[in-house]
């Protein structure tokens, strides 16, 4: 890997590190090392990174701000590409905005609301990046990314770049075409918003943010919702009714504020979290004959 690291550094594509702990790049503060950790400084440099990866036939994975992720204690084989400050561009043209994948979703929603543009109020408490939100069709408060996205700029594994329309993204509940059928990296997103009363938009955004603070345990390291809601049921409600709030395995604990959150209560490992997830799944199946599936993405070495 040292030879690959040297070759990467010569490309001058941004930050490059060897054996970087992913616990430093996930909101759950869990995760072993990445063989190669790359934070490109521009879209063009991401293309160079993909060219390098394909040349050496390396496995790779892209991450944003590290929410909705559980990384193995053994880390990730190959290269991890972090979409960060190098992809935080933002342009506003009337009600249309184009924003880089590395931009914080919370800061974007705050900024846009203050300009009197409506459509992103639901995102005011979602602690991820724009790219991650598009990738998984993030949502809350009755709305989601699919309601506002017009197209997304995608870099595919073969190095090609293409704009996909909302229809081509094949959005559904917390999923998009990028998760299975056409793996790729979100580089930019274009959103179509609507003009509204600035005071009302800001008030709604703050209400949504306050609701999250009051009902979700953001004072502990966590990944967000662990399970998809098995509609018409809600995972958090099922877990609470099962009497599981506060139950822990190792350093991983089911939040006492919200049943669908597992928090890192102190030096939790990925194994702790996985064991707790399995325990919850078995308990819910046993009590209600309902199979709940994870929303958090589990990645890394077995």
Task: Judge if 264 and 278 occupy the same domain.
Answer: yes
Whether 225 is in a domain gets the answer no
Residue 32: other Cβ atoms inside 10 A: 19
Q: What is the CATH number of the domain that holds 7?
A: 3.30.43.10
Task: Judge if 181 and 248 occupy the same domain.
Answer: no
The predicted pLDDT at position 53 comes to 92
Q: Which domain holds residue 130?
A: 88-215
Whether 226 is in a domain gets the answer no
- How many domains does the chain fold into? 3
The predicted pLDDT at position 85 comes to 85
3-state secondary structure string across 11-52? HCCEEEEEEEEHHHCCCCCCCCEEEEEEEECCHHHHHHHHHH
Whether 126 is in a domain gets the answer yes
Q: What is the CATH number of the domain that holds 268?
A: 3.90.78.10
Task: Judge if 58 and 101 occupy the same domain.
Answer: no
pTM over 0.85: yes
The predicted pLDDT at position 20 comes to 97
Task: Judge if 138 and 102 occupy the same domain.
Answer: yes
The predicted pLDDT at position 267 comes to 94
Q: What is the CATH number of the domain that holds 188?
A: 3.30.465.10
Residues annotated as part of the active site: 174, 225, 295
Residue 301: other Cβ atoms inside 10 A: 12
Task: Judge if 14 and 117 occupy the same domain.
Answer: no
Angle separating helix axes 2-11 and 43-56, nearest 10 degrees: 150
Task: Judge if 73 and 123 occupy the same domain.
Answer: no
Q: How far apart are CA 120 and CA 291, in angstroms?
A: 32
- Domain boundary pick from 63, 82, 101: 82
> Average per-residue pLDDT in the chain?
93
Task: Kindly write down the DSSP assignment for every residue of 162-192, as one continuous string.
Answer: EEEETTTTT-BTTB-GGGTTS-EEEEEEEEE
Whether 288 is in a domain gets the answer yes
pLDDT tens, residue by residue, 138-184: 988 889 999 999 999 998 878 888 999 999 999 998 889 998 788 88
Whether 44 is in a domain gets the answer yes
Task: Judge if 124 and 164 occupy the same domain.
Answer: yes
The predicted pLDDT at position 213 comes to 82
Whether 247 is in a domain gets the answer yes
Task: Judge if 123 and 197 occupy the same domain.
Answer: yes
Task: Judge if 210 and 102 occupy the same domain.
Answer: yes
* pLDDT < 70 positions in the chain: none
Task: Judge if 209 and 270 occupy the same domain.
Answer: no
- Domain boundary pick from 36, 58, 82: 82
Task: Judge if 67 and 110 occupy the same domain.
Answer: no
Whether 39 is in a domain gets the answer yes
The predicted pLDDT at position 128 comes to 85
- Domain boundary pick from 67, 82, 97: 82
Whether 51 is in a domain gets the answer yes
Task: Judge if 76 and 96 occupy the same domain.
Answer: no
């Amino acid at each position: 890997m040292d030879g690959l690291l040297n070759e990467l550094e010569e490309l001058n594509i941004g930050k490059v590190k060897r054996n970087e702990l992913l616990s430093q790049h996930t909101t759950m503060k869990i995760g072993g090392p990445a063989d190669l950790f790359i934070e490109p400084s521009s879209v063009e440099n991401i293309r160079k990174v993909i060219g390098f990866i394909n040349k050496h036939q390396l496995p790779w994975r892209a991450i944003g701000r590290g929410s909705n992720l559980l990384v193995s204690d053994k880390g990730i084989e190959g290269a991890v590409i972090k979409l960060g400050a190098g992809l935080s561009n933002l342009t506003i043209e009337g009600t249309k905005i184009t924003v880089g994948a590395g931009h914080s979703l919370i800061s974007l929603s705050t900024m846009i609301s203050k300009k009197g543009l409506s459509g992103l109020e639901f995102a005011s408490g979602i602690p991820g990046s724009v790219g991650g939100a598009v990738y998984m069709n993030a949502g809350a408060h009755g709305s989601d990314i699919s309601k506002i996205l017009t197209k997304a700029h995608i870099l595919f594994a073969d190095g090609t770049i293409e704009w996909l329309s909302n229809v081509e993204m094949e959005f559904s509940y917390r999923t998009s075409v990028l998760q299975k059928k056409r793996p790729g990296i979100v580089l930019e997103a274009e959103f179509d918003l609507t003009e509204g009363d600035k005071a009302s938009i800001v008030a709604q955004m703050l209400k949504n943010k306050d609701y999250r603070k009051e009902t979700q345990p953001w004072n502990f390291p966590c990944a967000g919702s662990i399970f998809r809601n098995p509609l018409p049921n809600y995972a958090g409600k099922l877990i609470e009714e099962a009497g599981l709030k506060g139950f822990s395995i190792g350093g991983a604990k089911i939040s006492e504020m919200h049943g669908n959150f597992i928090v890192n209560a102190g030096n939790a490992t990925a194994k702790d979290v996985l064991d707790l997830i399995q325990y919850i799944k078995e308990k819910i199946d046993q009590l209600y004959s309902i199979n709940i599936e994870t929303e958090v993405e589990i990645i890394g070495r077995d």
